[in-house]
Amino acid sequence: MTAATTTAAVAGRSAHRRLPRFLRRREGALGAVLLALVLLVSFAGPFVAPHPLSRPVSFPGAPPSSAVLFGTDSLGRDVLSRVLFGGSSVLTLSLVSIALTYLVGVQLGVLAGLSRRAFVDPLIMRLVDLLITFPPLLLLLVLLSGAGEGFWVLVLGIALVLFPGVARVARSATAEVATTGYVEAATVRGERLPAIMYREVLPNIAPAILADLGVRFAAAVILAASVNFLGLGAQPPAADWGLMVSENRTVLATNVWAVALPALLLAVLTISVNLLADAYAHSLGRSDGRSR
């Protein structure tokens, strides 16, 4: 082995060690690659789409050809172009919903775990338990039918469905650190509850919260796609992967890609986030940094 080869190998190992621990695992690396692919399709796709979003380019349900690589949809529009335009709405809705979910769920869970007032913990957790008993999609559909359709209504609905699970995770993690020395010391110093929450508890339960993130994000994607599939979210002529699966069922016999391609990208998105979350969860507590 030459000196240059040895130097390159050492540099490669050094770069590998600088990666976050969960990205050094096989599932973490695969999840990162798949997520990067979906993000690239979603946000760079509109700039490279071969056809306008809503203009028919052939007859409805046309099979793949040199002019339309994945055929056309139920209205004769290019499937590839609509897929390239349709990812950003799914990701934006899911990300905003998840941000609101954790903003509410984590604070309620930590408050329930730390409060010294006897009624606070049972009150919060009984509310959480009540919401968990409702089927998520049914609760979301009831809210949409009563409050109307719209981006923010859907965001609030998804957060309402998902925050109880986050609150339970945060409450359990808080209960484990609430009796530790640094929390008791902060209490003895007379620090207020918000200061204890944000300075002492949240940094120490962050790993448990982050390990839970993948499952909740995948659930948000599935809920958003389900609502759009049922026609209660994005409306035609908008391009959305969930909506595309619904509106192109009529051309499955002639062009399966009109349904399969957006469904495949939704599956890749949820799988990639779950792989990253699993890798992060498995990397917790590993002190040697070795990948499997």
- For the domain that residue 260 is a member of, what is the CATH number? 1.10.3720.10
Dihedral sign (CA 38, 42, 46, 47): negative
**One pLDDT digit (tens) per residue for the chain, 292 residues:** 555 444 444 444 554 556 777 677 888 889 889 999 999 998 898 898 898 888 899 889 999 988 899 999 989 999 999 999 988 888 888 899 999 999 999 999 888 888 777 677 788 888 888 888 888 888 888 888 777 777 888 899 999 999 999 999 998 888 888 777 767 777 667 677 777 777 778 888 888 888 888 888 888 988 888 888 877 777 777 788 888 888 888 898 899 999 999 999 999 998 998 888 888 877 765 433 333 3
Total tally of structural domains belonging to the chain: 1
CA-CA-CA-CA torsion sign (141, 145, 151, 153): negative
Residue 5 domain-assigned? no
Taken in order 104, 106, 109, 110, the sign of the CA dihedral is: negative
Q: Is residue 99 part of a domain?
A: yes
Q: Does 61 reside within a domain?
A: no
In terms of residue numbers, what domain contains 138? 20-49+69-283
pTM value is 0.80
Does 64 reside within a domain? no
Q: Is residue 60 part of a domain?
A: no
- Whether the CB-CB separation of 266 and 225 falls below 8 Å is answered with yes
Q: How far is CA 77 from the centre of its chain?
A: 29
Q: Is residue 274 part of a domain?
A: yes
Is residue 291 situated within a structural domain? no
Q: Which residues contact 37 (CB under 8 A, 6 or more apart)?
A: 268, 272
Distance CA 279, CA 92 (A): 24
Q: Examine residue 15 and state whether it is found in any structural domain, yes or no.
A: no
Residues 6+ apart with CB under 8 A from 130: none
Distance of alpha carbon 226 from alpha carbon 104, whole angstroms: 23
